[in-house]
Structure 1
Amino acid sequence: MKTLLKILGFVVILVALYALIAIFAFDKKNHFERSVVINAPKEKVWQHVGSLKGYNVWDPFSKTDKDIVITYSGTGDKVGDSYHWKGNDKVGEGEQSVTQLVPNEKMITKLHFIKPFEGDAVATFTLIPEGNGTKVTWAMDNELNSMMKIMKPMMDMNMKTMFDQGLGDLKKIAEK
């Protein structure tokens, strides 16, 4: 029994030590990005990236809830256009709005998360010609509070999975 308590105490100390290191060592500015090369010209890829409605066809986050409710403001392809989503506990609630557009090259959006956690982020979609195809880079920038710093490795694993799934779906759609 004493051995079990010692092991348990050691694990608790390791977890607390990791939390302290994460809080003080991880930068509060967080940048995450993934890329894929799509065998299609950037004009064709842009049809699926350059608007919020096009984005929501391959967006893996909204696919997590088949009953998600999305309400658009505008056509989704102009600066100032936005949408509001409300879904289950995995999807939560929030808003995304277009803040910058360079046709066939870049779309930047502001994300405002309402539930399950309040927060803001900036998503950037960049298209660059690469050979006969187009390199699409999907990036997200946000600030991490202390709790998010502790969860950063898990968040990065989840983001990698979701971004790779989304970019894979985008590739399938754009290469048709």
Structure 2
Amino acid sequence: MKKFLKILLAIVAILIIVMLLMGKAYHFEKSIIINAPVEKVYTQINSTKAINQWNPWMKLDPNLKVTYSGNPGQIGDKYCWEGNDEVGSGCQEITALVPNQKQSTKIIFFKPFESDATSNIILTPEGNSTKVTWDMDCELDYPMNLMKLFMDGKMDKSYGDGLNALKAISEK
């Protein structure tokens, strides 16, 4: 029994050290080159309805409930969602738009746990193509920050699926 307790205490101590060393901040970004001019790509990111045409999380719940508010294509354009355990619930609102360059949003998650994040989609012309960089920043409280150990793989897949869908729509 004493050996078991020592092992358990060692595991807990290691997790606490890892948690503290990792910190709360989390940043993820992914890029893709789209064979379309920046103006065409921008029309796919400048409103929440346009974003949701390629948003990878929209496919995870066929019964997802979405409500829109604000003026499409303007700061304050917002949507809220409520779905299954895989997509949870929350709201995303456009906080900045720079035509043909950038879109920024604030995301508030209610379920499966409360959190908030910021996200940017940055467009960079590259000849007749456009480099699209999609990022997200958030803070994860202790001990939730241990999730960062598993998030990059999940985020890479989700962002990759979304960017590939954006590419397909923009290149039509």
CA distance in 2, matches of 1:36, 1:136: 5
Give yes or no for the alignment of 1:34 onto 2:35.
no
The residue type paired with residue 61 of structure 1 is: W
Task: Give the match for residue 172 of structure 1.
Answer: 168
Task: Give the match for residue 50 of structure 2.
Answer: 54
The residue type paired with residue 143 of structure 2 is: M
- Is contact 2:26–2:148 with CA below 8 Å preserved after alignment? no
Of the three residues 134, 139, 144, the one matched with 2:140 is 144
Question: Among the aligned pairs, what percent are the same residue?
Answer: 46
Give yes or no for the alignment of 1:92 onto 2:88.
yes
Look up the SS of the partner of 2:123 in the other structure.
strand
How big is the shift at 1:171?
A: 0.8
CA distance in 2, matches of 1:172, 1:119: 31
| TM norm structure 1 | 0.89
Task: Give the match for residue 3 of structure 1.
Answer: none
Of the three residues 142, 158, 164, the one matched with 1:162 is 158
Distance change (3 Å), C-alpha of 1:18 and 1:132: farther
CA distance in 2, matches of 1:150, 1:86: 25
Which of the two has greater helix per residue? 1
How big is the shift at 1:131?
A: 2.7
Of the three residues 108, 112, 119, the one matched with 1:112 is 108
Look up the SS of the partner of 2:104 in the other structure.
strand
1:92-114 Cα offsets, whole Å, 9 max, x none, are 11001111110111110000101
The residue type paired with residue 98 of structure 1 is: I
- Is contact 1:76–1:98 with CA below 8 Å preserved after alignment? no
Of the three residues 12, 19, 25, the one matched with 2:15 is 19
How many pairs align?
172
Give yes or no for the alignment of 1:133 onto 2:129.
yes
Unaligned 5+ runs, structure 1: 1-5
Distance change (3 Å), C-alpha of 1:16 and 1:53: same
How big is the shift at 1:14?
A: 6.7
- Is contact 2:34–2:170 with CA below 8 Å preserved after alignment? yes
CA distance in 1, matches of 2:69, 2:130: 29
Unaligned 5+ runs, structure 2: none
- Is contact 1:22–1:149 with CA below 8 Å preserved after alignment? no
The residue type paired with residue 24 of structure 1 is: L
Task: Give the match for residue 68 of structure 2.
Answer: 72
The residue type paired with residue 175 of structure 1 is: E
Distance change (3 Å), C-alpha of 1:41 and 1:15: farther
